[in-house]
Structure 1
Amino acid sequence: MNKIEYSLDTRQLSSDIVQWFHDNKRDLPWRQSEDPYHIWISEVMLQQTQVDTVIPYYNTFVSRFPTLNDLAYADEETVLKTWEGLGYYSRARNLQKGVREVVETYGSKVPDNKKDILSIKGIGPYTAGAVLSIAYHQPEPAVDGNVMRVLSRVLLIDDDIAKARTRLLFENIIYDLIPETDPSGFNQGLMEIGALVCKPKQPKCDVCPIAAHCLANEEGAQLEYPVKKKKTPPKPLYFAVVVPQDQHQRVLIQKRPDKGLLANLWEFPMISVEPEQDNLDGIIECEMKNRYNIIVKPKDIETTVTHIFSHIKWHLNVYTADISTVGEDGETYRWVKEAALDSFPFPVSHQKVMKYIKAN
């Protein structure tokens, strides 16, 4: 679809979205500010994360790093620790890298034009549109899943929303619809309608402020939109997680590589295994000797933890083990007292392991 022929009153549609937003918007902490830095933080945190989950993390993060300079000059481990539990840690790393670019290249001022803001690490079209429209009141589109769902239904658009060209289509539609007088209210209104009213499986069409404009509602076809190709199920991966304790009652933790999944976070030693692994004790003993120069005798499975990423699913069988020597630190691993574990940033999966170990 290169050109949309609108069969509805687009000006009234835009007006209804804006009016409803100002009358019904939620009281969220990032809406108390038009600081582009704070809006940037909130939009990054809200990617793939529920609003209620984000609120305490946003408040803590802004309190800890209230200005661009505070975040730019913080050490990465402090940033990751503050982000701990929110997941998708590459968001935090890219946010800090982007903020450093703003400090170094733009004199600590978030750019107010599309070309420059899109050049910043970690900022894509959605975040750029959100910052430009909310902080700088520019009529730029901010297209997320909520927005595509609402407009797919209103305009009966059957293009696959998983495809990049469909996102461009929605951006062009918003350029047609967004009012120059209140682009912030329009973009946030579309997002809010998607979050609270035009829900994926149970849309509340009876209270929707734009139901009168909605072609899917008119045809009773709301649940057929948006069109999206089903994702491939995440690939299962299996690991033995070993938590050895030395004679000083310290446990062993390992820092992940500085690139890739969960980069620079800490974890308990993980050994890749098969679902029904033969000679598992022998494999664990050999790996722990080769990696950390310790001899362990793993006990029975203590607990099992599962964690789903977008493309893989971890199955973690957790073992404890005592060693008869004093552990020695290596370049990427340390022996630490249980009480000190909280000072290290761990991914959610290993926070679950830690919680179990502390409780038992």
Structure 2
Amino acid sequence: MAKEPVQSKLSPSAIRRPLLRWFDREARDLPWRRTRDPYAIWISEIMLQQTRVQAAAPYYERFVRRFPTVVALARARLDSVLKLWEGLGYYCRARNLHKAAQEIVTRFGGQLPETRSELLSLPGIGAYTAGAISSIAFGQREPLVDGNVTRVLCRVFRVRGNPKEAVVQKKLWSLAEELLPAARPGDFNQALMELGSEICLPKNPPCEVCPLRRTCLAKRHGEQNRLPARRRKKPIPCHTVVVGVIERNGRVLIDKRPSDGLLGGLWEFPGGKKQSGESLEEALHREVLEEVGIRIRVGDSIATVDHAYSHFRIRLHAFRCTYASGTPQCLGCDAIKWVRPGDLRRYAFPAANKKIIRALLDARQAGRRGSQ
């Protein structure tokens, strides 16, 4: 990345020194900070995309225990990787991790590459993640900009433009690079992120304890709650979705979502979005026929689940169904299985489907108790 001068009177050293002193004193004890293994650092950085530290930490520890090396991850079945990732969300991260591990084995001899350009060539690694890995794992002087760093830089340097705009993004990356010290670039990058996570909060930041309070231009002008500039959020759409727990001979039908779509590679109960003018039952008949090619009889409701994704919400209606006719086939999915209800928990399902599984198994258990 070509260097551009910082458009500010602030001295980089006036930011580096107090920030690193603060980080040395206040840095959280996180599991991925106890290792210098580039593989483990890579895993943590992928998990921390779109996920809070507190949520990612237990997943990280389970993941590196199960797959302690790049080779172990590359040799694993994707289903096993997705099952271990279950509940963490944004499953394309897990699929890309698996693909990238295989590429690291075949292209780089099982060693995570050190350079930014080589890291960017791997699935799931963008500019931020490449900067994080190269600086933290390999000590390279590479910048990074994420949401937390954006907030810190916009306030410290009083950047008033919308951070989503390309010209502002370019300025932020230039600032991040100019600030990087020759020594301890990884620690400095982590300190910037830590400051945004713990002190430079989106609303009402506790500026009185910030190590940069004497240099922050936003604080000086009383603009810390107005920066970064925010776009007006669009209304979040809500979709009605229906699924069928289809039973036949003591087993239920599940199918695997297409690998290239939302929640790709996860298992689910057949179904889909309700169209305008359809009843829930009509939508379920149509979706099951289009997805797996069979006809069903729709029975009682099992559960209704409200679930939020990043850009939309769903209300998911699950019905107990029985198989009527037809041969199951993969029309809108990658695989089909008839499984015992008690085995459903062995498969990786989206979070909303897991709530249905819990309701289904609870109902079966209550039925068994009632018959005794």
TM-score clears 0.5: yes
1: CA distance, partners of 2:323 / 2:362: 21
The CA distance in 1 between the partners of 2:282 and 2:224, in whole Å, is 56
Residue 339 of structure 2 aligns with an amino acid whose one-letter code is V
2:343 match:
340
What SS does the aligned partner of 1:211 have?
A: coil
- Preserved contact between residue 257 and residue 263 of structure 2 (Cα < 8 Å): yes
State the partner residue of 2:30: 28
Partner of 1:281: 281
1:173-252 map, 5 Å: 173-248=175-250, 250-252=251-253
Distance of 2:317 and 2:352 partners within structure 1: 11
Distance in 2 between the 1:186 and 1:234 partners? 36
Q: Tell me what 1:154 maps to.
A: 156
User: Could you give the per-residue CA deviations for residues 268-298 of structure 1, whole angstroms, max 9, x where no partner exists?
Assistant: 11132146x4444344345545634343132
Q: 1:5 to 1:271 in 2, by over 3 A?
A: closer
- Which amino acid is 1:229 matched to? R
- Counterpart secondary structure, 2:231: coil
On the 8 A contact 1:118/1:128 being kept in 2, the answer is yes
Q: Counterpart in 2 of 1:255?
A: 256
| Equivalence map 1:64-83=2 (5 Å) | 64-83=66-85
In the alignment, which residue of structure 2 is the partner of 1:143? 145
Give the partner amino acid of 1:346.
F
Q: Deviations over 1:289-332 (max 9, x none)?
A: 56343431322x3322122223332221121234589x976452
**Cα deviation, residue 238, structure 1:** 1.4
Alignment RMSD = 2.0
**Given the superposition, is the C-alpha separation of residues 101 and 307 from structure 1 closer, same or farther in structure 2, using an over 3 Å criterion?**
same
1:84-105, Cα deviation, whole Å (9 max, x unpaired): 1100000011111112211111
Q: Any idea what the Cα deviations from partners look like across 1:67-110, whole Å, max 9, x if unmatched?
A: 01011111111111111110000001111111221111111121
SS at match of 1:38: helix
Give the conservation status (yes or no) of the 8 Å contact 2:236–2:313: yes
1:3-61 superposed Cα distances (whole Å, 9 cap, x missing partner): 53322232021111111111111110000111111111101101111111001100011
Q: 1:11 to 1:287 in 2, by over 3 A?
A: closer
The 2-side partners of 1:320 and 1:126 are apart by 45
> Does the CA contact (< 8 Å) of 1:288 and 1:296 recur in 2?
no
Identity across the alignment (%): 40
Counterpart Cα distance in 1 of 2:25 and 2:34: 16
Residue aligning to 2:360: 357
Q: Secondary structure at the match of 2:297?
A: coil
Query: Which residue identity does 2:126 align to in structure 1?
Result: G
AA at the equivalent of 2:272: I
1:316 match: 316
Distance 1:10 1:284 in 2: 60
Q: Secondary structure at the match of 1:252?
A: strand
Give the whole-Å Cα distance in 2 for the aligned partners of 1:36 and 1:97: 17
TM-score normalised by structure 2 residue count: 0.89
Q: Which moved more, 1:25-34 or 1:116-125?
A: 116-125
Q: Is the 8 A contact 2:295 2:324 kept in 1?
A: no
- Is the Cα–Cα contact under 8 Å of residues 234 and 308 in structure 1 kept in the other structure? no
Task: Indicate if the aligned counterparts of 1:242 and 1:268 stay in contact, CA closer than 8 A.
Answer: yes
Q: 2:265 maps to which residue? A: 264
Give the drift of 1:357: 1.7
Judge conservation of contact 1:253–1:333 (CA < 8 Å) in 2.
yes
Cross-structure match for 2:109 = 107
Flag the 1:193–1:323 CA change in 2: closer, same or farther, 3 A.
same
What is the CA–CA distance in structure 2 between the aligned matches of 1:324 and 1:59, rounded to whole Å? 45
Q: Report the AA paired with residue 272 of structure 1.
A: K
Contact preservation (8 Å) 1:40, 1:131: yes
C-alpha contact 1:246 1:324 (8 A) present in aligned 2: no
In the TM superposition, what are the counterparts of 1:290-309 in structure 2 within 5 Å?
291-299=292-300, 301-309=301-309
> Is the 2:298–2:319 contact (alpha carbons within 8 Å) kept by the matching residues of 1?
no
Task: Report SS of the residue matched to 2:225.
Answer: helix
Is the 1:138–1:183 contact (alpha carbons within 8 Å) kept by the matching residues of 2? yes
1:85 matched residue in structure 2: 87
| Deviates further, 65-74 or 279-288 | 279-288
Q: 1:278 to 1:143 in 2, by over 3 A?
A: closer
Q: Report the Cα distance in structure 2 between the residues aligned to 1:99 and 1:281, rounded to whole angstroms.
A: 43
Q: Please tell me whether the aligned partners of residues 143 and 176 of structure 2 are also in contact (alpha carbons under 8 angstroms).
A: yes
Is the deviation greater in 278-287 or in 51-60?
A: 278-287
